[in-house]
Structure 1
Amino acid sequence: MQQSMELPLVLFTVLSQAAIGIAFMRAVRQPVPAQGGNARNEWRMITGLMGLGLIASLFHLGHPAGAFTALKHLDSAWLSREALSAGLFVGLAALAAMASGEKGNPLFAWGGAALGVVVILSTGMTYAPPAFPALNNALPTIFFLISAVTLGAGFASWFAPETHQPLLARIFTSALVVGLVIHLAAPCIWLSGSEVMRLTGQAWLKSGFYWSHIGIMAASLLVIWKTRTIAVWLPVVVLLGELLGRAGFFVDTIHTAANMGGLY
């Protein structure tokens, strides 16, 4: 039983995680003195990516004008917490884009990183419902965090001075390695789980989205091992891979309804 691609959610999750990842990299680099770089432009990109992601998410709603009602259940719904934290994050990013100097402000950097963690945790919990047994665990949060770190390190290299490039390259490489291991292991582990988990593992391992994502991660890892730097075009390629992988996340994960009436 194939699910919908959910293109608005693909765009929202990937673009928002790219924005959050860049904010993470600002916090990581903030204590390290360096000449050059442009914090204001970096925050502008963070704001733009998060804004585009939020706009895309509205197309998932039957009544986009009622999006504010998502905040009504903060005490019980992770979706409400995701909406609030994402809104606070884009607000802080916009403020930083206007108020930051060229070298940046540590308060914005650490505030953005803290809010980013809350957004990723909330998003991970939102997409880990019991109806999808393969994802009813910490895996969505782990997937999203890996995406954020990989994309963040990649796009942060566009703004970082030369002295910070080796640090970003190490983070980028490590995130790709961890991402490859976890994405290769997850569907194999699902094969030994319940019936619906097994069906999910089979669907992922047969999916063009899945193998395209794996191939782009592996190729990107090969490029950076060979060059030792993040080529200016490489983050765009990785972004494409994350979009394809996220499409598979929604399309190829099996709902319990697929085995309704069957044995588990």
Structure 2
Amino acid sequence: MQSMEIPLVLFTVFSQAAIGLTLMRVVRTTADGDGAESGDARSEWRLIAGLMILGMFGSLFHLGHPLSAPTALKHLGTAWLSREVLFAGLFTGVTVLAVLLAGKAGRPVLAWLGTLLGLGVIVSAGMTYAPPALPALNNALPFSFFLTSAVILGSGFGSWFAGSERAPLMTRIFTTALVVGLVLNLVAPCVWLSGGAVMRMTAQAWLGSGFYWAHVAVLIACLGVVWKFRTIPAGLPLLALLGELAGRAGFFADTIHAAANMGGLY
């Protein structure tokens, strides 16, 4: 890709944070076992909707003609990008409805529906950013990166609304997701080094990138803080968010397109 694509960085990270938060509402509801949502529902849904709307707004700056954004839905049968736009729009609608209905019946249903639509966003995005022209990502890695980000940010920010009873659950999920994210980011470039020319170029770009090492450092720092305090301090999700933003910037800026080696030997 070799371009930082700030609008896409903001859209993917903020939308995945919103999706992760919705998923964590479902997890807490299931853990409670009584079918009722716990915590401050209105405030959490406001954060979810705010993150998603901010991400959607940011994505418009990626378009040459923002007012023509709805035309992206024309190719639902053939384009994963069109499906991503559809799922993102539906998910945004559910989050806004949940804000309006907070404190009324039906909230658990909206959390489940939002989670399903949110997973549709992540699957579609994973397919969108896994084209053959990006050999290093022409696999399940984009989906894995995106889902891991959603769980890290969802459990991190979800700790703000979990209450004392569910805080340990959010901490366990947050810690596990951090470990998975760290392993993925450390292993992927090593695997690419044993691949073809463009894969090796991508590995070298990632390993030489400040974005990559900033992301890795934040993941390690978050793990260290959780290990020390045995919980998620209130400010730690913000640090995790900065780390995911840095990692996503590197994802777009440092992944090498096959055209970069056009005419070269493989």
- Shorter-chain TM-score range: over 0.9
Relative distance call for 1:136 and 1:45 in structure 2 (3 A) is same
1:246 aligns with 2:248: yes
State the AA in 2 paired with 1:228.
R
SS in 1 for 2:263: coil
Supply the AA of the counterpart residue of 2:140.
Answer: A
Aligned partner (choices 44, 49, 52) of residue 46 of structure 2: 44
Change (3 A) 1:244 1:89: same
Q: 8 Å contact 1:39–1:104 — kept in the other structure?
A: no
SS at match of 1:59: helix
Please say if residues 35 and 161 of structure 1, whose CA atoms lie closer than 8 Å, have aligned partners that are also in contact: no
User: 2:31 is aligned with what amino acid?
Assistant: V
Q: One-letter code of the match for 1:256? A: A
- Kindly indicate whether the alpha-carbon contact (under 8 Å) linking 1:38 and 1:103 is maintained by their aligned counterparts in 2: no
Among 76, 79, 82, the alignment partner of 1:77 is 79
In structure 2, the partner of 1:193 is 195
Q: Distance in 1 between matches of 2:61 and 2:37?
A: 42
What is the SS of the residue equivalent to 1:244? helix
What pairs with 1:167-206 in structure 2 (closer than 5 Å)? 167-206=169-208
What does 1:119-198 correspond to in 2, within 5 Å?
A: 119-198=121-200
In structure 2, the residue matched to 1:97 is 99
Shift of 1:102: 7.8
Residue 24 (structure 2) pairs with residue 25 (structure 1): yes
Q: Which structure 1 residue ranges, 4+ long, deviate > 3 Å from structure 2?
A: 32-36
1:31 Cα deviation after fit: 2.5
Structure-2 separation of matches of 1:100 and 1:152:
19
Distance 1:22 1:51 in 2: 14
Q: Is the 8 A contact 2:151 2:174 kept in 1?
A: yes
| CA deviation vs aligned residue, 1:20-72 (integer Å, no higher than 9, x gap) | 00001001011233996111111111100000000000000000000000000
Matched residue SS, 2:88: helix
Q: Return the letter of the residue paired with 1:238.
A: A
Q: How many percent identity over aligned positions?
A: 65
Aligned length: 263
Q: What's the CA shift for 1:245?
A: 0.4
Q: What stretches of structure 1 of length at least 5 have no aligned partner?
A: none
Q: C-alpha separation between the residues in 2 aligned to 1:43 and 1:163? A: 20
In structure 1, give the amino acid aligned to 2:138: N
CA distance in 1: counterparts of 2:168 and 2:106, whole angstroms: 20
RMSD across aligned positions (CA): 1.5
Q: Is the 8 A contact 1:37 1:102 kept in 2?
A: no
1:161 shift after superposition? 1.3
Contact 1:132 1:256 in 2 (8 A): yes
Q: Which amino acid aligns with 1:93?
A: T
Distance in 1 of aligned mates of 2:38 and 2:99: 17
Q: Deviations over 1:72-113 (max 9, x none)?
A: 000000000000000000100110111122897220111111
Please tell me whether the aligned partners of residues 37 and 108 of structure 2 are also in contact (alpha carbons under 8 angstroms).
no
TM-score, normalised on structure 2? 0.96
Q: How far does residue 129 in structure 1 lie from its aligned partner after superposition?
A: 1.1
Cα deviation, 1:226-254, whole Å, max 9, x if unaligned, reads 11111000000000000000000011000
CA distance in 1, matches of 2:243, 2:49: 22
Q: In structure 2, do the counterparts of structure 1 residues 104 and 243 end up closer, same or farther at CA, with 3 Å as the change threshold?
A: farther
How far apart are the structure 2 equivalents of 1:104 and 1:57?
30
The TM-score with structure 1 as length reference comes to 0.97
The 1-side partners of 2:43 and 2:186 are apart by 36
